[in-house]
Amino acid sequence: MSCGKPHETDCAEVLSEVWLYLDHECDQGRMELLRTHLQECHPCLEEYGIEEHLKLLLAKKCGGEHAPEELRRRLRARIHEATVTSDSAVETVETVEVEVDVEVEVEARAADNA
């Protein structure tokens, strides 16, 4: 995405860092650079607005709930397995499996609460 105007920071680069910006996970200089771009670029500002709305919606629907102790125990065990393995390919596969387990658990809980 690009508005066609030259910017100090490329639109694609800004959009790839929107979640970092929303979560205040950038250093102060990077935050200011992204803020300036969003003020100057309407298409990026619109995309930022969508992402910000999504973040607020997720916080509203999923905030405050804590994972069940059994899920937390399983995650800790799987993360430990992934960190003690020295082969990076195996670490990647095991990490992805942990993420999938979490998604399945979250979807199951959402279905139960619906």
pLDDT of residue 90: 47
| 51 domain residue, yes or no | yes
* Claim to verify: residue 53 and residue 89 sit in the same structural domain: no
* Claim to verify: residue 31 and residue 50 sit in the same structural domain: yes
Q: How many domains does the chain have?
A: 2
pLDDT of residue 63: 72
Q: Is pTM, for the whole model, over 0.75?
A: no
52-87 confidence digits (pLDDT tens): 998 888 888 877 777 788 998 998 888 877 766 545
37-51 confidence digits (pLDDT tens): 999 898 999 988 999
90-100: b or e for each residue (b if 16 or more CB lie within 10 Å)?
eeeebeeebee
* Claim to verify: residue 74 and residue 58 sit in the same structural domain: no
| 50 domain residue, yes or no | yes
**Domain hosting residue 16, numbered range:** 11-62
